[in-house]
Amino acid sequence: MRRCCLDEHDICLGCGRSLAEILQWGQADSAQRQAICHAAKARLAQQKPL
């Protein structure tokens, strides 16, 4: 089930993953998923609050 909602830059508003990372997730190993989560967390921390 897909739940990501992308902004105009193809970044999920909820989880912070890019479209490429979302598409890669299913085939990513544990280390790759950890790197994706780290990058997503950093993106969310940089977002301006609504």
Average pLDDT, the chain: 92
**pTM assigned to the model:** 0.84
Distances in Å between the Cα of 28 and the Cα atoms of 9, 14, 20, 22, 35 are 22, 20, 12, 10, 10
Q: What is the b/e burial string over 18-28, where b = at least 16 CB atoms within 10 angstroms of the residue's CB? A: beebbeeeeee
Tokens of 7: 């902004």
**CB distance 40 to 15 below 8 Å:** yes
Q: Is the model more confident about 30 or about 4? A: 30
